[in-house]
Structure 1
Amino acid sequence: MRKILVPTDFSENAFNAIKFAIDLFKYEISEFYIMHAYLDEIYNHEDLVEESDLEKVSETVSNTSKTSLKNTLEAIKAISPNPKHTYNIISAKNLLIDEMDTIADNKNIDIIIMGTKGKTNDKKITFGSHTLQVIKYVQCPVMAIPENYKYTQPKHILFPTNYLIPYKRRELKLFCEMASTYRAIVDVLYISTSDKLSLRQKDNQKFIKEELHKNTLNFKLVNSKHIINSIYQYIKENNIDMLVMVNTRHSFLEDMIYQSTIDEFGLNLDIPFLALQNIKRY
């Protein structure tokens, strides 16, 4: 059974991510956890003036959260009465990142799916701060869905890699099964100024071939030093409809996230983006 966590702030963008998750896994027996963490909302509430107001405001925000989650669940069942899917709603007096990390660990979540922006994110920023924080700190694969993205089956997926990291079998299996469901073609892109691979890189390339064996793989080379520009150009020139990258030390994605500020994250994506975490999970 696939276990999927979808956080919501009850925005249109968050519900769009929920719809995407339902469509993406419509053929799989899946358990969804729809979660709202509201601790920030308590402290930002307009009625919280004195410390004595805290209990009353907390109760108000908690009740609103639970009611909104129930309404969201009714809306989900109205648009997708899929017998393969079951749903759980979680209202948590906690910070978003902390609660998601706890649920991912306790429920053994396979993948988190979320919108790239929430209610408060700057419209000029491609990835909202919450999305990047989740990718950086929550120990679980994360798929980010762009604002207003309309679901299409993933048919052509880009997987950039430098072949320097030993991939984790569980995460590649998730990728493999998700892509093979739609008979997607996967372009494995190596961006380098050299076309030669070390023995270590060759071993990691072989592991990718073995773990993605259900998929049609195209191994590509782009001769360049500019990773972000090369990925973005490849997406546009090859009609890519999903980007998959790995977030770990010495990876392309780490270079992008950790060497730039959140507001300057340079990959202007208008397609779904799956960040694998390359951690050992059971």
Structure 2
Amino acid sequence: MRKILIPTDFSVNAMNAISYALQLFKYEVSIIYFMHAYQDDIYINETLLTRETLSEVTRIVGEQSKKQLEDLLKQVKEKYPNPRFTYRIICSNNLLVDEADNIVNEENIDIIVMGTKGKTNERKLTFGSHTLQVLKYVECPILSIPSNCNYAKPKHVLFPTNYLIPFKRRELKLLCEMTSPFRANIDVLYVSKSNKLSLRQEDNKAFLKETLCKNDINFYTINNKHITDTINTYISENKINMLVMVNTRHSHLENILFQSPIDKISLNISIPFLALQNIKRVSL
């Protein structure tokens, strides 16, 4: 049974991510957790908040969160009826990244699905700050859905990798089971100035091929040192409709996301983006 966590701030972007997830996993028996962490909403206007009013504001915001989740659940059941889905709602006086981390561990979540941005929807940023925090600190695969990204079957998937780290079998199995019902082609892309692989890289490549065996897998090498530009070009030229990368130290994704200021990220993602989490992130 698939366990899916979908954080929401009830924005248009969050609803778009929900819509995508419910269509992507429609063939799988799943428990879907809709979660709203509302601690930031309590302190959003600190100039009006006092010690005397804190408990009352907390109560009001908590009740509003629960009501919005109940309304969301009703809307989802009406629009996307599916006997394979069981739903849970979680409203929590907590920070998003902390609550997501708790639920992942307590419920053994397989994947988190969320929008690349939330209510703020800053156009200059590829990812909102909340999504980046979840990507960096929560040990769970994360599928990020860009704003205005309409659902399309993931029939052509791009998986850039340098083959330097051992993949997690559970995460590759997730990718395999997500895409195999759609008979997806997975293009594994190695961006390097050298065509030669080390023994470790060859072993990791073989493991990748073995674990994704239900899909058609194509292995490509592009001789280039500009990884981000190469990925963007490949996506646009090959009609890619899902991007998959492994988030770990010394990976392409680590370099793109976490060694640059947020506002300088140059990976222009307009398609669903699955980040596999290979190692436990640094604790908050």
Q: Same fold (TM over 0.5)?
A: yes
Contact 2:159 2:187 in 1 (8 A): yes
CA deviation map 1:32-56 (0-9, x unaligned): 0000000011011478432111001
Q: How many residues align?
A: 280
> Is there any run of 5+ residues in structure 2 with no aligned partner, and where?
none
Q: How does 1:207-218 map to 2 (within 5 A)?
A: 207-218=207-218
> Cα gap change, 1:257/1:29 in structure 2, threshold over 3 Å: closer, same or farther?
same
Q: In 2, Cα distance between the equivalents of 1:195 and 1:30?
A: 41
Q: In 1, Cα distance between the equivalents of 2:80 and 2:47?
A: 37
TM-score by length of 1: 0.97
Secondary structure in 2 aligned to 1:167?
coil
Q: In 2, Cα distance between the equivalents of 1:79 and 1:11?
A: 17
Give 2:186's aligned amino acid: V
Give 1:125's aligned amino acid: L
> Is there any run of 5+ residues in structure 1 with no aligned partner, and where?
none
Secondary structure in 2 aligned to 1:70?
helix
1:72 aligns with 2:75: no
1:87 aligns with 2:77: no
Q: In 2, Cα distance between the equivalents of 1:261 and 1:121?
A: 17
Instruction: Among all aligned residue pairs of Structure 1 and Structure 2, give the percentage whose two residues are the same amino acid.
Output: 61
> Cα gap change, 1:69/1:45 in structure 2, threshold over 3 Å: closer, same or farther?
farther
Contact 1:48 1:57 in 2 (8 A): no
Q: In 2, Cα distance between the equivalents of 1:237 and 1:90?
A: 41
Q: In 2, Cα distance between the equivalents of 1:211 and 1:250?
A: 22
Q: Name the structure 2 match of 1:58.
A: 58
Contact 1:48 1:54 in 2 (8 A): no
1:128 aligns with 2:128: yes
Q: In 2, Cα distance between the equivalents of 1:216 and 1:272?
A: 20
Q: Name the structure 1 match of 2:111.
A: 111
Cα-Cα RMSD: 1.1
Q: Name the structure 1 match of 2:198.
A: 198
1:224 aligns with 2:224: yes
CA deviation map 1:90-122 (0-9, x unaligned): 000000000000001100000000001111241
Give 2:140's aligned amino acid: C
Q: Which runs of 4+ in 1 moved over 4 A?
A: none
Q: Name the structure 2 match of 1:167.
A: 167
Secondary structure in 1 aligned to 2:32?
strand
Q: In 2, Cα distance between the equivalents of 1:149 and 1:121?
A: 14
Q: How does 1:24-43 map to 2 (within 5 A)?
A: 24-43=24-43
Q: In 1, Cα distance between the equivalents of 2:98 and 2:121?
A: 19
Shift in Å at residue 279 of structure 1? 3.8
Shift in Å at residue 2 of structure 1? 0.3
Shift in Å at residue 225 of structure 1? 0.5
